[in-house]
């Protein structure tokens, strides 16, 4: 069941009808849990029991971590009892983290590790086993998001947040179908807090939910999926593509990825609003950032928040000097890279972003020391910073789109001065896309201009469409996206992660 399908629309309407017709929080949570299991089972029924088991394990480990110390101990033994209690809680935390990491490792990274060992030590058997696993074992959808949320909950409880004793509440949170497959990564306690005051959405909230779903449909079906056609054609013919074609595909892929993923999050947040929940925002115009640190505050925001709170700060953050800060940034981004996929291309992508963050931190430190900050705030400085930042971001997408280093390395080698095959333009642009390269480039820049206008309206002028205009535009957006969508819409890109 895909988000943007007639089946999902009927499913969501049915769930909303039942959900808002029953009384009591327990019944509503039961509706969410059953609906979430039905939704996931429509995609991968074989893994639904496993997710339930891991939810149960995380629930009980969280309870054990949050269990209070026995205060009836004599005063002279209290200090030793507290130390034992803290050690026990830490051990339980590591048990929960390791179980979730093993789940992630077993499904996503075993073939990658076997391939790496096989190539490094010339062991053909390891590579054969990797191929067999890759062919016969399909990773559960949303496993990365699922595991990260479980780890976040356990760490929050260890840090002092109360552990829940209501399994129905916890399982409804963990399996909440709008966010289950590709996020946004949501913490338990803010989500549970919203359960205390569940009310039927107001007309303006209903409008906002429908508007987000309509925006998600336009981003995905009308824009991202058409961009995917051009991207797949060019990157699928690397041997014949020229430098200009590769730059065009890289530019188009950066836009496709943003529109595809942010479109998914829009539909997820819109569906959640109709159920009375407000999921966290995941994107805030990241392609208009002027430094890489700001980019990671506005791109995949819930992942960035997770990395900061559960990895960067525990490693020391920026509190232990510039050198340690740079080391921490590199480690965090390498982990972010491998989280996205089991391939060396993702490691390189993470490493490039880590290096960019280190360079930004060093540049920032030198600018403050030598009083260059005023120049970076001037118009030439802002334009240069934006161009350098987005140039790095878009170029690094090559390794994200082509995680096989042979393919991505070939693209990097041919970015400058490589001519295309004689018939490439005719076959790809004229016959297949029915548009020449110049006009396709102009369309991409028009799309960027439209995004810039929206950015200016939202961030610069602080203007919003009122609910009446939105409700009029919702059917128009949905109908246009449905009519003009490609015949075969590709799955969401982040379903692979």
Q: Enumerate residues 6+ apart whose C-beta is below 8 A from 455.
A: 285, 288
Among 209, 171, 157, 147, smallest CA distance to 20 is for 209
Residues in contact with 391: Cβ distance below 8 Å, sequence separation at least 6, in sequence order: none
Contact, 235 vs 254, CB < 8 A? no
Contact criterion met (CB below 8 Å) for 346 and 400? yes
**447-455 own/partner pairs: CB under 8 Å, 24+ apart:** 447/223, 447/255, 448/255, 448/287, 451/285, 451/287, 451/288, 452/288, 455/285, 455/288
CB atoms within 10 A of CB 456: 13
For residue 444, give both structure tokens: 């991409």
Print burial letters for 25-34: b (CB count within 10 Å at least 16), e (below 16): eeebbbbbbe
Distance CA 183, CA 302 (A): 8
Q: What is the DSSP string of 394-449?
A: HHHHHHHH--SHHHHHHHHHTSSS-PPPTTHHIIIIIIIISS-HHHHHHHHHHHHH
Structure tokens at 240: 């014949």
Angle at 269 between CA 267 and CA 273, to 5 degrees: 115
Q: Any catalytic annotation for residue 340?
A: yes
Specify whether the CB–CB gap between 496 and 403 falls below 8 A. Answer: no
List 300, 340, 353, 360, catalytic entry: 340
Residue with tokens 């919702």: 474
Phi-psi map region of 167: left, alpha, beta (phi>0 left; psi -120 to 50 alpha): alpha
Give dist(CA 15, CA 156) in Å, integer: 31
The CA distance from 497 to 486, in Å, is: 24
Q: Active-site residues: which are they?
A: 340
């Amino acid at each position: 069941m895909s988000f943007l399908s007639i089946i999902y629309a009927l499913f969501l309407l049915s769930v909303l009808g039942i959900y808002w017709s029953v009384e009591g929080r327990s019944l509503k949570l039961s509706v969410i849990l059953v609906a979430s299991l039905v939704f996931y089972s429509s995609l991968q029924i074989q893994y639904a029991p496993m997710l339930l088991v891991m939810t149960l394990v995380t629930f009980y480990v969280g309870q054990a971590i949050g269990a209070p110390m026995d205060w009836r101990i004599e005063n002279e033994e209290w200090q030793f009892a507290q130390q034992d209690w803290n050690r026990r809680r830490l051990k339980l935390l590591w048990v929960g983290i390791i179980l979730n990491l093993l789940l992630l490792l077993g499904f996503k990274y075993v073939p990658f590790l076997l391939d790496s060992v096989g190539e490094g030590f010339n062991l053909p058997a390891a590579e054969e086993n990797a191929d067999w696993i890759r062919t016969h074992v399909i990773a559960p959808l949303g496993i990365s998001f699922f595991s990260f949320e479980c780890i976040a909950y356990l760490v929050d409880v260890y840090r002092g947040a109360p552990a829940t004793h209501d399994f129905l509440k916890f399982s409804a949170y963990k399996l909440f179908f709008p966010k289950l497959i590709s996020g946004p990564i949501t913490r338990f306690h803010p989500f549970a807090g919203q359960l205390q005051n569940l009310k039927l959405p107001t007309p303006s909230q209903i409008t906002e939910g429908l508007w987000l779903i309509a925006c998600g449909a336009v981003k995905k079906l009308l824009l991202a999926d058409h961009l995917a056609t051009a991207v797949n054609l060019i990157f699928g013919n690397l041997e014949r593509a020229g430098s200009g074609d590769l730059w065009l595909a890289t530019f188009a892929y950066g836009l496709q990825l943003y529109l595809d993923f942010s479109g998914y999050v829009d539909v997820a947040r819109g569906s959640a609003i109709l159920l009375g929940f407000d999921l966290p925002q995941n994107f805030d115009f990241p392609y208009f950032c002027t430094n890489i640190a700001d980019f990671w505050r506005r791109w995949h925001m819930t992942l960035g928040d997770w990395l900061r709170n559960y990895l960067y700060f525990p490693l020391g953050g920026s509190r232990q000097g510039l050198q340690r800060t740079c080391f921490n940034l590199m480690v965090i981004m390498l982990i972010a890279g491998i989280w996205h996929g089991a391939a060396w291309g993702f490691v390189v992508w993470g490493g490039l972003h880590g290096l960019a963050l280190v360079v930004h931190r060093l540049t920032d430190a030198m600018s403050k020391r030598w009083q260059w900050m005023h120049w970076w705030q001037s118009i030439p400085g802002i334009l240069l910073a934006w161009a350098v930042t987005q140039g790095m971001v878009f170029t690094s997408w090559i390794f994200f789109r082509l995680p096989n280093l042979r393919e991505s390395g070939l693209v990097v080698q041919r970015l400058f001065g490589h001519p295309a095959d004689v018939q490439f333009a005719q076959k790809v642009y004229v016959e297949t896309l029915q548009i020449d390269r110049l006009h396709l480039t102009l369309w991409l820049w028009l799309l960027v201009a439209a995004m810039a206008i929206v950015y200016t309206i939202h961030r610069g002028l602080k203007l919003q469409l009122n609910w009446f205009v939105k409700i009029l535009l919702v059917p128009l957006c949905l109908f246009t996206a449905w009519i003009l969508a490609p015949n075969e819409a590709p799955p969401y890109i982040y379903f692979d992660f």
